[in-house]
Structure 1
Amino acid sequence: MARISFSLLLLLSVLCAAGMVESSSSTDFIKTSCGATRYPTVCVESLAVYANAIQQSPRQLAQTALKVSLDRAKSTKVFVSKMTRMHGLKGRQYQAVKDCVDTMGNSVDRLSRSIQELGQISRGSSQDFMWHMSNVQTWVSAALTDENTCMDGFAGRGMDGHVKMAIRGKIVNVAQVTSNALALVNQYASTTVTHKP
Structure 2
Amino acid sequence: MMSQSTVTFLLLLCFVCFAGTVKSVAVGKSSSSLGYIKTSCSTTLYPKLCMQSLSVYANKIKGNPQHLAEAALSVSINKAESASVYVSMMTRVKGLKGRESQAVKDCLDNMKDTVDRLSRSMKEMGQTGRSTSQSDFSWHMSNVQTWVSAALTDENTCVDGFAGHSMDGNVKTAIRARISDVAHFTSNALALINRYASKHQA
TM range (shorter): over 0.9
1:116 aligns with 2:123: yes
Deviations 1:115-167 (A, max 9, x none): 00011221411111011100000000000000000011100122142111111
- Equivalent pair of 1:62/1:184 in contact (CA under 8 Å): yes
- Equivalent pair of 1:76/1:170 in contact (CA under 8 Å): yes
- Equivalent pair of 1:26/1:56 in contact (CA under 8 Å): yes
Match of 1:152? 160
1:69 aligns with 2:97: no
Q: How does 1:1-197 map to 2 (within 5 A)?
A: 1-121=8-128, 122-194=130-202
Query: Following TM superposition, where does structure 1 have runs of at least 4 consecutive aligned residues deviating by more than 3 angstroms?
Result: none
Amino acid corresponding to residue 82 of structure 2 in structure 1: S
* Superposition deviation, residue 193 in structure 1: 0.9
SS in 1 for 2:167: coil
Deviations 1:83-112 (A, max 9, x none): 011111111111100100000000000000
RMSD of Structure 2 on Structure 1 (CA): 0.7
Match of 2:5? none
Share of identical aligned residues, percent?
56
Amino acid corresponding to residue 137 of structure 1 in structure 2: Q
- Equivalent pair of 1:93/1:160 in contact (CA under 8 Å): no
Separation (CA, whole Å) in 2 of partners of 1:177 and 1:13: 37
Q: Structure 2: where are the runs of 5+ without partners?
A: 1-7
Separation (CA, whole Å) in 2 of partners of 1:55 and 1:177: 21
Q: Structure 1: where are the runs of 5+ without partners?
A: none
Separation (CA, whole Å) in 2 of partners of 1:34 and 1:151: 25
Output the TM-score relative to the length of structure 1.
Answer: 0.97
Q: 11-20 or 115-124: which moved more? A: 115-124
Amino acid corresponding to residue 189 of structure 1 in structure 2: A
SS in 1 for 2:125: helix
Separation (CA, whole Å) in 1 of partners of 2:41 and 2:165: 37
